[in-house]
Amino acid sequence: MVAVRLFAIAFFLVGSACAVGFLSATPSEAAPEGRAWTHRITSLTGEYVNHWKLSSTEPCGLVGDGTVTVKFRIAVTPRVALVYSRFASAEPSGYGSWIVGIPSAHGGGLVGGPLRPGAGTITMVDNTVQRPPEPGDECPPPEKSGCGTTALRRPLIRLSGYNRRFLMADLVATLRSGECHFGQTDSFTDRHFTGGTRLGELLLRVPSVATVSRRRVLVLTGTSHKVTSSADCEPDGTCSDDVTRRVTVTFKKL
C-alpha cells in the first residue's frame, strides 16, 4: 500500500513539472545562488530601408520615389540568460526554443526579457513631383516639411526566442516624421511589406547549443528583403515598396 502511494505521488510530481513548461528550468538551466545570468548583450544594431515609388495619373498627382532609412541601436548593455529549453513554446508551433530571459532570483526558472530602450535616427527623402493640373486650375504644393533626418522618438527594442533555430528581433517605433511621404508602411514589422515570417518577424539564426556554450563572443545577424507592388495607390495610380531590414546582436559570455 505504501509503495502504491509513493508511486502516485511521484507520478503527480512528474506531471506537474511538465505542466509548468519552460518556467521550470531544466537541470542545465537551474540557477545556483543568485541569478544565473549567462551573457551580456554588448551591442544590438539595426537598419531599415524602404525605397518606395509611386505614380498617380490624376492631375496634380504625385510621381517619383523616395527613401525611408532608419538606423538604431540598443541603449543599454543588459545581462541576460540565453538558454535553450525543450519545454518552451516554439513558433509557429510545438515546443523547444531559445529564451533570452531573466533568471529568477529565487531558484530555477526564467521569464521573458522586457522591451529595452533604444536610440536612433530616421531619414526621410521625398523626390516626388506633381503632374500638371487641369487647364485653368492650380496645384497646392506638396507638403515636405517633415523630410530630412530626425531622432527616433522613444524607440524600444525586443529580442526574444522564436524556436530552436532562431531568435526574433523587433523595433517598436513609428517610422515616419512629420509631413513627408513614407511609402505604404511605417512599421519595422509588417506582414504585408517587410518580409520575414508570415507575420513579418525578423529572425536571427542561432547555432547549436554546444556552439553557443563554447563561444566567448556570439554574433548573430538577421536580414530580410521584400518588394511589394500595388495598383491601388494614390488616385488611379501605382506604387511599390522595396524594404530591407538588418539586425546584428553581440552576446558576450559572462
Q: What's the pLDDT tens digit per position in 10-62?
A: 433 334 333 333 333 333 334 333 568 999 999 999 999 999 999 998 999 99
Q: Is the dihedral of CA 206, 219, 68, 156 positive or negative?
A: positive
Cis peptide before 103 (omega within 30 of 0): no
Pairing of strands 39-56, 62-74: antiparallel
Our CA angle for 247, 251, 252, nearest 5°, is: 155
* Burial class for 108, CB neighbours closer than 10 Å (0-12, 13-18, 19+): middle
Taking the C-alpha atoms of residue 46 and residue 15, their distance in angstroms, rounded to an integer, is 42
pLDDT at 2 (0 to 100): 38
pLDDT in tens, 3-15: 434 334 343 333 4
Terminal CA-CA length for the chain: 50
CB 241 within 8 A of CB 54: no
State yes or no: pLDDT of 178 exceeds 80: no
Q: How far apart are CA 74 and CA 173, in angstroms?
A: 13
Cα distance between residue 199 and residue 122, in whole Å: 24
Query: What pLDDT shows up at residue 234?
Result: 64
Closest CA to 68 of 2, 147, 12: 147
If you average pLDDT over residues 226-245, what whole number do you get? 89
Each residue's pLDDT tens digit, 66-88: 999 999 999 999 999 999 999 99
What pairing do the DSSP bridges indicate for beta strands 202-205 and 62-74? unpaired
CA–CA distance, 108 with 33 (Å, rounded to integer): 10
Place of cell 541601436: 73
Integer-rounded Cα Rg, in Å, for the chain is 24
Specify the amino acid at residue 153: R
Position 7 scores a pLDDT of: 38
Q: Cell 513554446 belongs to which residue?
A: 89
Q: What is the pLDDT of residues 186-229, one digit of tens each?
A: 999 999 999 999 999 999 999 999 999 999 999 999 999 999 99
Per-domain residue ranges of the chain: 35-74+117-253
Q: What is the DSSP letter of 119?
A: E
State the average pLDDT over residues 108-130. 90
User: In this structure, are residues 120 and 48 in contact, taking their beta carbons and an 8 Å threshold?
Assistant: no
Could you give the CA distance from residue 57 to residue 46 in angstroms, rounded to a whole number?
36
pLDDT at residue 27, as a whole number? 33
**Side chain identity at 62, as an amino acid letter?**
L
